[in-house]
Amino acid sequence: MSTIQIVLVALFVYLGSIGSVVGNTIGWYALGRPLVASFVVGVITGDLQDAMVVGIPLQIMYMGSVTPGGAVAWDLSYATYIGTAGAIMFGKGAGASELIGYAVLFAGIGGFVGQLMWNLSYALNLPLNRLAKKYADAGDTKHMYVPNVVGGQIIGFACRFIPAVIVLSALNLGSAQADFANMIPGWLTQFLSVFGGMMAALGMGIILSFLVKKGWHYAVFLAGFILVTYFNLSTMAVAVIATIVGVVFYAAETKEA
Amino acid sequence: MAEKKISPKTLKKSFLNWFFWNGCSQQAESMLGMAFGQSMAPVIDELYDTKEEKAAALNRHITLFNTESQVGSICNGITCALEESLANGQCTPEVIESVKVALIGPTSAIGDSLWVATIIPILLTICLSIAEANPSTAWIGAVIYLIAYPIGTCILSWNLFRLGYRSGLEGLQNLMASGKLDKLTDALTLVGLIVTGALTASFVSASLPIQITKEVADYTGAEVVYNTVVLFNADNMLNSIFPKILPLGLTLLVYYLYSKKKWSPMKLMGLIAVLAAILTAIGKVSGVY
């Protein structure tokens, strides 16, 4: 990856993190989602197809990581931008399951760094309260953005962008070592590919815990499952059927009332 | 003295301050307090004249405040309406403070459970199924999400803000009591469940790599050829009972441990890593991999 590409990816790591300057709706909840993040990395590196190959499984794996704000368990933005970029750097010419294995590995590293940085910025933001109090006491309504946006974003940017540049540069240097990919033993690649496939169960299991509220909901979940296994439908076809079911259900429910 | 009223332009400004910068300075002391103060600043500037009044009002809003900020914009709307009544002498600062504290719980709950934990995953699963349909056009799913989610959320957030301003606390109560929200959630839950089932079948992989093979000599040709014949394959056997039974079982196991046994995602990740290591080792030993 060129320096410009590294800087651009790091910039998006920051934009997709919690409380970036574009707001959580556009940042954390849109740019920070693995599906979108891999698309962005794909556009930046020019390898859109490989990026999406890892983006889809990463999104499924991390589907359960939706908890907002203070309860962040895993820095999704860091995990997926670094994971996708790492997979593209190291996995040149590799097959899909190898790419996914690399992405899972690097996303783990990225998520860990991101988690440290989140805790750091959370602590560094504390003194801003004093600054806000000063402006509030002066009744200065015109400068309330200074502690919140200016202060918060200098800290936020420093905690996201700079470490991301360092991590990405290190990965870039590592991948430039000619036969690094060959140094990884076969059993490890095999393990990563098995692990990647099984990790999808994590996202799906956590999502189920949000969705299942009544006993018969298991049957509805199973219906979606067998439409693929017994009827060989694509997930898109199942999504269309699901939407129809939803519309009919809503119409029937509201008519009764 | 003429009755004070917040202009539509100021309301919009207050909303935009919140929409873009609600999470900018999040920390453990006041959570989103500073952002809330910034959101109220234009309103305060318009409603109050003296420096003392402005200072008192600003100090009211930089204290602890937290919510799921997208659905929580209704709190900002309600607070705008309350500040307006206060400026007209029909409300007290104590009421504003206690209403704000009271709003934290229900708006966080609705926001987190309905918007963050239901709408986002459902929209993502739909976009994933678009992405999965064809590898060369997979990016379309990402683009649709990137456009649809922020626009949809912005419209919702702005309307909740206006609802809060127009009808105050009553608006929130009516919204929760009408029952329409519940039915919509129920219908969306069904969509989510079916699509999650399909995604589980398509994406989760788990297999038991055990097989027994035998070399069988083939004498039919001119030369004797030794073919490897699979006598028993654990995975094929399991799948003939119920296709993809292992991925399904693994997903339900994760669900059980997460929701009933309260395992953390990190712990679950560790369990999956251990299982994957064991299965890889079994595969190596039995010669499948």
CB–CB contact B243 A230 (8 Å):
yes
The verdict on B168 and B230 lying in the same domain is no
The verdict on A36 and A157 lying in the same domain is yes
Convert the pLDDT of each residue in A101-144 to its tens digit. Answer: 889 889 988 988 888 898 899 899 999 999 999 999 999 999 99
**Two tokens at B71?**
């659905």
The verdict on A171 and A238 lying in the same domain is no
The verdict on B112 and B30 lying in the same domain is yes
Closest CA to A19 of A114, A121, A165: A121
The verdict on B244 and B264 lying in the same domain is yes
What ipTM is given for this predicted complex?
A: 0.89
CB–CB contact B68 A68 (8 Å):
yes
Count of other CB atoms within 10 angstroms of residue A53: 24
The verdict on B222 and B188 lying in the same domain is no
B265 within a domain of the structure (yes/no)? yes
The verdict on A78 and A163 lying in the same domain is yes
Domain that holds residue A69: 3-211
The verdict on B49 and B123 lying in the same domain is yes
CB–CB contact B200 A49 (8 Å):
no
Cβ atoms of residues B62 and A136 within 8 Å? yes
The verdict on B223 and B185 lying in the same domain is no
The verdict on A206 and A220 lying in the same domain is no
- Phi first, then psi, for residue A46 (nearest 5°) are 80, 10
Convert the pLDDT of each residue in B242-256 to its tens digit. Answer: 999 999 999 999 999
Whether residue B233 has pLDDT greater than 60: yes
Domain boundary at B199, B226, B255, which? B199
B97 within a domain of the structure (yes/no)? yes
Residue type (1 letter), A64: G
- Domain count of chain B? 2
Q: Please check whether residue A229 touches B, CB under 8 A.
A: yes
Which pLDDT band holds residue A176 (cuts at 50, 70, 90)?
confident
Residue numbers in A near B20 (CB within 8 A) = 21-23
The verdict on A23 and A91 lying in the same domain is yes
Mean pLDDT of A53-65: 87
As beta bridge partners, residue B265 has none
The verdict on A140 and A236 lying in the same domain is no
Domain boundary at B175, B199, B223, which? B199
B3 within a domain of the structure (yes/no)? no
Count of other CB atoms within 10 angstroms of residue B7: 11
Which residue of A lies nearest to B33 if distances are taken between CA atoms? A129
Domain that holds residue B22: 8-199
Q: Please check whether residue A146 touches B, CB under 8 A.
A: no
The verdict on B94 and B141 lying in the same domain is yes
Residue that the structure tokens 């590592």 belong to? A174
CA A133 to the chain's CA centroid: 35
The verdict on A168 and A232 lying in the same domain is no
B2 within a domain of the structure (yes/no)? no
- Domain count of chain A? 2
pLDDT of residue A68: 43
The verdict on A112 and A187 lying in the same domain is yes
B33 within a domain of the structure (yes/no)? yes
Domain boundary at B145, B165, B199, which? B199
Strands B211-218 vs B225-233: parallel, antiparallel or unpaired:
antiparallel
The verdict on B117 and B28 lying in the same domain is yes
Q: Is B223 left (phi over 0), alpha (psi -120 to 50) or beta?
A: beta
Prediction pTM value: 0.88
The verdict on A105 and A230 lying in the same domain is no
The verdict on A116 and A175 lying in the same domain is yes
Rounded Cα–Cα distance for residues B137 and A55 (Å) = 13
B147 within a domain of the structure (yes/no)? yes
Closest CA to A66 of A119, A30, A13: A30
B206 within a domain of the structure (yes/no)? no
Which pLDDT band holds residue A66 (cuts at 50, 70, 90)?
low
**Two tokens at B203?**
């994406």
CB–CB contact A39 B139 (8 Å):
yes
Name the residue facing A59 among B44, B58, B124 (closest C-beta).
Answer: B124
The verdict on A134 and A78 lying in the same domain is yes
The verdict on A251 and A221 lying in the same domain is yes
The verdict on B95 and B194 lying in the same domain is yes
B205 within a domain of the structure (yes/no)? no
Q: Please check whether residue A59 touches B, CB under 8 A.
A: yes
Q: Which of A191-195, B46-50, B178-182, B271-275 has the lowest mean pLDDT?
A: B178-182
Mean pLDDT of B176-195: 84
